Amino acid sequence: MKLKQLDAKSVKCPDLTVVVRRFIFREIASDCVAHVITCEPLSTERISHMVHQLEWELLSQHVENGEYHFLIRKP
């Protein structure tokens, strides 16, 4: 299993889900885990919804120093 780190902290976009989704589609392959980092407070809700819609797996999420961290697996 590979680990990819995706950093959306400096991306300026009104819809974080679209930005994060673009990053994940480009970077994550089957049986890979993505580490997504963002400063967007609504990211917890949006990423949880996106992962559910794509039928992926949200392995973990936590906040550290004002940054939201997510580990996502694509089956």
- Can you give 43-60 as a three-state secondary structure string? HHHHHHHHHHHHCCEEEE
Tens of pLDDT, residue by residue over 57-72, are 999 999 988 888 888 8
Tens of pLDDT, residue by residue over 10-53, are 666 556 666 676 666 667 777 788 888 888 888 888 888 888 88
The Cα–Cα gap between 62 and 1 comes to 21
Domain range holding 50?
2-74
**According to the model, what pLDDT value does residue 4 have?**
66
- Number of folded domains in the chain? 1
pTM of this prediction?
0.70
The domain spanning residue 29 has which CATH number?
3.30.110.40
